A and B are shown apart, each in its own frame.
Chain A
Amino acid sequence: MHPTDFTIRGALEALSEGIVSSEALTAAHLEAIAALNPRLNAFVTVTAERAMEAARASDARRANGIAGRLEGVPLAIKDLFCTEGVRTTAASRILGEFVPPYESTVTANLLRDGAVFLGKANLDEFAMGSSNATSAFGEVENPWKRGNDDGTRLVPGGSSGGSAAAVAARLAMGATATDTGGSIRQPAAFCGIAGMKPTYGRCSRFGVVAFASSLDTPGPVARTVEDCALLLESMAGHDPRDATSAKVAVPDFAAACARGVKGLRIGVPREYRLEGMPDEIEALWSQGLDWLRAEGAEIVDISLPHTKYALPTYYIVAPAEASSNLARYDGVRFGQRVDGADLKDLYERTRAAGFGAEVKRRIMIGTYVLSAGYYDAYYVRAQRVRALIKRDFDEAFRDVDAIVTPATPSAAFAAGEKQDDPVAMYLNDVFTVTANLAGIPGLAVPAGFDRQGLPLGLQVLGRDFDEETVFAVGTAIEHAAKLTALPQVRAFA
């Protein structure tokens, strides 16, 4: 066994027993990054020296009897989280060489608990995308290959594509990610790992580059559900610097993983059975429900009638908020600047040069739906439909404890596919976006493979601030699935 093969839980045990040091774990991951990152492009920035220093400091703390809950665990940080003294790009040209003078709350919490940061993970520009193709730092390759490998490069999903690819290929034990419409769960499913979007308000957004503030949710990706629980416990908690951060106690999420599902009522929404959905995904879904039934859960048919309106609602709400949030990039206070004839020309040329095509599209849509004369017809109407989507979930959760659906409508697709039609790309998030609109927690858990050997995931949705039940259901699926296949591209393979 190589140090990069540890789960976080396993590494913490090995560290506490003195079988391995954080220095050795960190060095092994950095070696794997040096070998594979030129191909996978999962990291935008590798902070090797800082990581080794942090690992040695962690080992010294542990030797002195002080061990945080993630003491010595090497992680990747999505390059949307501000890290003090380390360039933060949001995978956009417009931020230039921006070096934050402060640390995001989520990463500060992880550092407080002893985690070691390996570097900053690639993503779609400003987290806008479902394939990591919109990054100004280039595409990320999915470490999984089709069984009949014809050399096709597959996308890792997005927007947290670098985080998911790094964890799947064992370049990091876990990673931070963010989810605005599915950006944790879709890449986790495409890369065969677990990813948790917690309840809105569970993790602080302070220091996370804003995309759509009422939807943006930081959360973890890792190779097991329990590892996600361990990471979330550290990342979560009330933060006075985020007005939407919830004053809710952080429970022992890892303990909840082992609760089992006996007696739980699991909802199966009929509206998630899409026309033209691959039969493999349909079969995986049925299999997952059978596993839960065998463990003592009761499976209940439910209806979420406004599901089909979730994506179009999202594509009004998210661009509207994005157009406001991204107004700050004007070439004056930080980031890239392109000079112009006057101040307005400076703004316009800076933004034209700094933003990529997808970001510009969304700024344009957002500006339009917020503009005079269209605000009520588009934006306010979308907010009303959003209320109906939330009401659907509220009613469903009066009857069931959790909901299980497929995580994505397909396995990972090839690089270059779906690039010409924005709406086809948006459909990737059809199963995930509802949880963002309603604010509820959602977990992607690896559950099987398609005929070509590519990972497929199931999604578990839960009530507001009931991540514990979500973790319990996810763990039951994970244990029943007993997956052993590994991605073809991985550390020390």
Chain B
Amino acid sequence: MSLDLKTVRRVASLARLHLEEGEDARLQAELNGILGWIEQLQAVDVSGVEPLSGGGGTAMPMREDVVTDGGRAEAVLGNAPDRAGAFFAVPKVVE
């Protein structure tokens, strides 16, 4: 599978990455190099093999459904690039 420029731009948009002029062509070449190399996985017989999502192999533990943290708005907002009172501020999204 080889990526065309249109797909590179669509993936960049999905990934929320602004591309500068010419960056799409450079990425296209790099990504196709990597994807071409990854292609060798198609040769592996994986029939009947369950996908493995992680190491450790233990099941996710259950815990009590209770609040264990919170009430620390100042700490949470401490690194905000922009804030308005106890809220994060962003450019207007609804006209």
Contacts and interface: CB of A to CB of B under 8 A. Distances in A.
B80 A333 contact: yes
Given A333-B80, A363-B15, A388 B91 contact: no
Contacts, number: 174
B50 to A, nearest CB: 6
A43 to B, nearest CB: 22
B14 A371 contact: yes
Given A201-B56, A333-B80, A335-B81, A101 B75 contact: yes
B18 A99 contact: no
Interface string B17-39: 11110000001001101110110
Interface of B is mostly: loop
In the complex, which range does the number of interface residues on chain A fall in?
35 or more
B55 A388 contact: no
A334 B80 contact: yes
A23 B44 CA distance: 57
B43 to A, nearest CB: 8
Contacts of B52: 383-384, 386-387, 390
A376 B22 CA distance: 31
A343 B18 CA distance: 13
In the complex, which range does the number of interface residues on chain B fall in?
35 or more
A215 B3 contact: no
B85 to A, nearest CB: 15
B79 A333 contact: yes
Contact of B54 (A214, A365, A381): A214
Nearest to A366: B15
A252 B37 CA distance: 43
A361 B31 contact: yes
B71 interface: no
B60 A364 contact: no
Given A247-B61, A345-B18, A352-B19, 9 more contacts: A99-B78, A214-B54, A243-B60, A309-B40, A347-B16, A348-B18, A364-B8, A378-B38, A437-B55
Interface of B: 1, 3, 7-8, 11-20, 27, 30-31, 33-35, 37-38, 40-42, 44, 46, 49-58, 60-61, 63, 72, 75-76, 78-82, 88, 90-91, 93
